[in-house]
């Protein structure tokens, strides 16, 4: 299996390179705006998949190239506008596109189960989401927090309060707090290494390489 990595020079791009090597997946193209030896600025040939950890603008440029070459695209970048998301949905009519705000298997299990818990607890419980990331993360709230909030609102009709913290070198923490008079329930996912997201993206690329055109998420990948 051969993949391309967009955003190859970034922290996550480097983690994906490591994960690919450990999984026996060949990285056939390193793509980034940074001019470094062995790094190119665009996707030129069809591969089994492209994994993107870059920026919304760079991701959409590569997505257009994926459509032209028929390459499945794993989009792991966050911070897209509604108009940009519409462009992703349009591309997914022509090629397989996996678009997920978080590539961790653990977080995606939260996406499945937390809305069920919120629905069971009912209106007596306040719902808050607190997300903490490193000081260099550009978007706030995080894509993961937005997805959690959207799924909770869809299940309950109530919009959770979302709080963002940007501090130090925190890889990523998401706390879902259910509070009422008398008790509090907290569910926490804490990422201690970027490797979990990188490994998830490789799993997603393997799965997507044989999928039909359409828009998918990590919820389609995990059992």
96-155 confidence digits (pLDDT tens):
999 998 899 899 999 999 999 999 999 999 999 999 999 999 889 998 999 999 999 999
Assigned token pair, 115: 């809305």
Instruction: List the catalytic residues.
Output: 133, 137
The H-or-E segment that residue 50 falls in is: strand 49-52
Give residues with Cβ within 8 angstroms of 163, minimum separation 6.
128, 129, 130, 131, 141
Q: What is the pLDDT of residue 36?
A: 86
Q: What is the pLDDT of residue 223?
A: 72
**pTM for this entry:** 0.81
pLDDT in tens, the chain (223 residues): 999 999 999 999 999 999 999 999 999 999 998 888 889 999 988 899 999 999 999 999 999 999 999 999 999 998 899 999 999 999 999 999 999 988 998 999 999 999 999 999 999 999 999 999 999 998 899 989 999 999 999 999 999 999 999 999 999 999 999 999 999 999 999 999 989 999 999 999 999 999 999 999 999 998 7
Q: What is the pLDDT of residue 67?
A: 97
Strand order through the sheet with 49-52: 39-40, 26-31, 2-6, 49-52, 73-75, 96-99, 214-216
Compute how many other C-beta atoms are within 10 angstroms of the C-beta atom of residue 180.
13
Q: What is the pLDDT of residue 27?
A: 96
């Amino acid at each position: 299996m051969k993949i391309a990595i967009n955003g190859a020079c970034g922290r996550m791009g480097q983690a994906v390179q490591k994960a690919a090597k450990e999984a026996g997946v060949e990285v056939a193209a390193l793509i980034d705006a940074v001019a470094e030896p062995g790094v190119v600025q665009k996707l030129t040939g069809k591969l089994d998949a492209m994994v993107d950890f870059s920026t919304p603008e760079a991701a959409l440029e590569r997505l257009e190239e994926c459509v032209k070459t028929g390459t499945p695209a794993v989009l792991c970048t966050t911070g897209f506008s509604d108009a940009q998301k519409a462009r992703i949905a349009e591309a997914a009519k022509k090629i397989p596109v996996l678009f997920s705000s978080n590539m961790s298997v653990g977080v995606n299990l939260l996406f499945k189960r937390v809305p069920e818990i919120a629905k069971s607890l009912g209106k007596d419980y306040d719902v808050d989401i607190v997300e903490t990331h490193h000081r260099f993360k550009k978007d706030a709230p995080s894509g993961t927090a937005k997805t959690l909030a959207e799924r909770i609102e869809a299940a309950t009709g109530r919009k959770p309060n979302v709080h963002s913290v940007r501090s130090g070198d925190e890889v990523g923490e998401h706390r879902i707090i259910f509070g009422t008079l008398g008790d509090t329930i907290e569910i926490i996912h804490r990422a201690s290494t970027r490797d979990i997201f990188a490994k998830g993206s490789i799993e997603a690329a393997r799965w997507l390489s044989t999928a039909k055109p359409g828009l998918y998420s990590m919820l389609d990948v995990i059992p």
